[in-house]
Amino acid sequence: MGQQPQAKAPQPTIDDVILDMRLSSKRFAREANRCDKEKDALMVKAKQALQKNNEEGAKLFLTSAMNKQKESENLMRMSHKMDHLQGIIKSTANQTQIMNSLNKITPMLTQQVNQMPLDDVYKNMNQFEAAMDEITVQSKVMDGMMNKNVDAGQDIALDQMMGQLKQEIHNQVSNDLNVNPQVAFNQLSQPQQQQQQQAMNNQYK
């Protein structure tokens, strides 16, 4: 017996494509939120490291936090692109339906076009295309400038984040001194007492 031909998988419809893109957009948005949470956790670790005078460790945590922030921004950008693309696909499908409807009234449209001055039609279309080309060029220039500025400003942003953490720690220490000076005094004198006790122990050895 001959082998029966396998049935072909059904081609996805426009609605299926739009649904998949909508789900992908939501998935990218969830991943972006996860990166934001990881960035916040890294910021906390950087602050803790700075409180322990581990500035190098704090810088590493801040660098990781900035990478998570970039990842989150890229994921959100992809989410927005998916939303934009599904809008374009849906709009294209609607235009196709419109064109099918227009085909039914082609004789009437042809008669109307023949009555329009061709010079005005070409002039308006050329103006429209020139405006669209100008918008596209400006958009590409802006994208290039923004990407360049992001890399150039990374070191500045890192220094600003480090300075902000130092200021928060300074304010926290100041608040502790104002609330309970005796506790702060005990905390400051405790290392000195430990050194004196260690010296006495060394003398009796």
Question: Residue 3's pLDDT is what?
Answer: 58
Q: Over 50: is that where the pLDDT of 55 sits?
A: yes
pLDDT band at residue 189 using 50, 70 and 90 as cut-offs: low
Lowest mean pLDDT among 76-90, 143-157, 177-191: 177-191
Lowest mean pLDDT among 40-44, 140-144, 149-153: 149-153
Question: Residue 91's pLDDT is what?
Answer: 83
pLDDT higher at 8 or 59? 59
Question: Residue 35's pLDDT is what?
Answer: 94
Q: Over 70: is that where the pLDDT of 97 sits?
A: yes
What DSSP string describes 79-140?
HHHHHHHHHHHHHHHHHHHHHHHHHTTHHHHHHHHHTS-HHHHHHHHHHHHHHHHHHHHHHH
Q: Over 80: is that where the pLDDT of 52 sits?
A: yes
Q: Over 90: is that where the pLDDT of 175 sits?
A: no
Most confident of 50-64, 115-129, 154-168: 50-64
How many helical (H) and strand (E) elements, i.e. helices and strands, does the chain have?
Answer: 6, 0
CA distance 147 to 150: 5
Question: Residue 65's pLDDT is what?
Answer: 92
Q: Over 90: is that where the pLDDT of 45 sits?
A: yes
Q: Over 50: is that where the pLDDT of 1 sits?
A: no
